[in-house]
Amino acid sequence: MVGKLKWFLSVIPLQNVLGWRCVFRRKKTATRFFFLGLMLFILGLVSLFTGHVVSDIEWYSQVRRPWKLRSGWMKDDVRRRGEINIWNSETSKYYHGCSKRRPHLRSAVSESKSNGYLLIATSGGLNQQRIGITDAVVVARILNATLIIPELDHRSFWKDESDFKNIFDVDWFISSLSKDITVVKRIPDKVIRSMEKPPYTMRVPRKSTPEFYLEQVLPILLRRRALQLTKFDYRLANNLDEELQKLRCRVNYHALQFPKSMQNVGQKLVRRMRALSPRFIAVHLRFEPDMLAFSGCYYGGGEKEIDELSKIRKRWETLPDMNAEGERSRGKCPLSPFEVGLMLKALGYRNDSYLYIASGEIYGGEKTLRPLKDLFPNIYTKDMLLDRELEPFLPFSSRLASLDYIVCDESDVFVTNNNGNMAKILAGRRRYMGHKRTIRPNAKKLSSLFKAQQTNMDWVTFARKVKSCQRDFMGEPEEMKIGRGDFHEFPYSCICQKHNGSSMTLEQQYFSNRPPYYEGIGNILVKEYNLLNRYKRHYI
């Protein structure tokens, strides 16, 4: 080994070896500088990105609570610590519903120039069908189609034979939407005779986008001239262009009106409640047997309850087996009437408050209602307030539900007991009409509190914790967030905020204040908004 080294040194000059060593040292030093520079570059990127995120959080908090950071109308800390007004919102006066049609929008396409006739078969109960009708108008606008008065569901669980004209004012519906779409009562006989085939029938996927309707549905409509969409409930995407969302509001809050005869009976109920008390609470108990069976929850009725609800549950073949206790801990179970009473009492409502119970057949009847009546003795229903006036409505569940809808809408406080269709529709309407107090139980947190209250929690602690967990479930304006929940419950495109003499929708605030890089960090709403802009020319 030593001999080989001597030979190597004798063959290669020493200065060459030293030169290689110097080159190696220079390369090693350069490599160190390269890695050091790379680390500094990465740290700079991280710092830049986190700075954007922090500023985004600060910006978003301003958009979410503009009355706190922009106008100084109310200090959030004070509101959080202080007692909430249980009868009305103190900030509602700064917000108002705004869905007026803008003058630059194109007029409705006439029947003769439209792309064809759109027939709609709705599905479910009254308010599920209401959602379907609202979305049907928007789809007709997207497709440039003439809408036929929608067909109501006669085959659902409730077996109600009511037609559109029995629930809604047809002439008002047609005239109020005349600038947006053309609506007719039926396809003209002349057109039917000229059609080679009957209307094509199809069912679109749930929450389909305008892009889907333009690419998949419109070609069929153009080819067949008439198209029927079946089971039409929640068949349109939740997030749409702002103008289409405003059209949803114009349909839901203005075009869909009950007939005068039904409004008169509903207002009579309201007047009789007002005669008993200047302000009252409407509670949508939603404690009917079908609701409890569908939820898979258990309320302590033993084998009798389990057998009865299991038989009803078999009507829905696709429902999976559920763990009742697990559903309750996840907040999926409606509160019992007694639990609703405990929540109201803990929030601060006195036992002399007047309650209107909006409900169908309550499971367990008077026995189930008794604990609630012990807490709030002044309880009334439409059966107690009406006599012969109610008889024409009795065979029709949708018409009875319409009366409850009117009273709940007019009440000072509306309490929902599940996140069903009536709860969503009325919550959104009450926001639009001035953010009237609307309470949705925070069932997930309340379930554990009810358990603790039954064991060792004193009433003062229980009431304090109930008020705390209900803070963001009282129908306050600041609960509105862009993209939160179902649009029918949170109609953010149709709620305007008054500020310094001007008025701007929450959605306009969102996009006008959005930082230019915000889309780059993956905001889904912005991406959907930009995607829909590509299709505006078809319906705006």
What is the Rg, in whole angstroms, of the alpha carbon atoms belonging to the chain? 31
Give the pLDDT score at 527: 40
Per domain, the residue ranges of the chain are 2-64, 117-255, 260-483
Tell me the per-residue pLDDT of 183-192, one tens digit each, with 9 for 90 and over. Answer: 999 999 999 9
Tell me the per-residue pLDDT of 507-522, one tens digit each, with 9 for 90 and over. Answer: 666 555 544 333 332 3
Tell me the per-residue pLDDT of 72-120, one tens digit each, with 9 for 90 and over. Answer: 334 344 344 467 899 999 999 999 999 999 988 999 999 999 999 999 9
One-character DSSP codes across 99-130: -PPPTTSPPPPPTTTSS-EEEEB--SSHHHHH
CA distance 492 to 531: 19
Tens digit of each residue's pLDDT, the chain (540 residues): 445 444 444 444 444 443 444 444 444 555 666 666 677 667 665 554 444 443 343 333 333 433 333 333 343 443 444 678 999 999 999 999 999 999 889 999 999 999 999 999 999 999 999 999 999 999 999 999 999 999 999 988 778 999 999 999 999 999 999 999 999 999 999 999 999 899 999 999 999 999 999 999 999 999 999 999 999 999 999 999 999 999 999 999 999 999 999 999 999 999 999 999 999 999 999 898 988 988 889 998 899 999 999 888 888 877 888 888 888 988 889 999 999 999 999 999 999 999 999 988 899 999 999 999 999 999 999 999 999 999 999 999 999 999 999 999 999 999 999 888 999 999 999 999 999 999 999 999 999 999 999 888 999 999 999 999 999 999 999 898 887 889 999 999 999 988 766 666 766 665 555 443 333 323 334 344 444 454 555 555
| Prediction pTM value | 0.80
CA distance 208 to 229: 13
Give the pLDDT score at 536: 52
Give the pLDDT score at 360: 82
Give the pLDDT score at 513: 54
β strands within 155-204, DSSP E: 183-184, 200-202
Block residue for tokens 């779409």: 181
Distance of CA 21 to the CA centre of its chain: 72
Could you say which DSSP state residue 477 is in?
G
**Pick from 304, 287, 292, 297: which is nearest to 324 by CA?**
297
Burial 225-254 (b: 16+ CB within 10 A, else e): bbbbbeebbbbbbebbbbbbbbbbbbbbbb
Instruction: At 412, list the tokens.
Output: 């000072």
CA distance 62 to 499: 14
Q: Phi/psi class of residue 149: alpha, beta or left (left: φ > 0; alpha: ψ in -120 to 50)? A: beta
Would you identify the CATH topology of the domain 117-255? Rossmann fold (3.40.50)
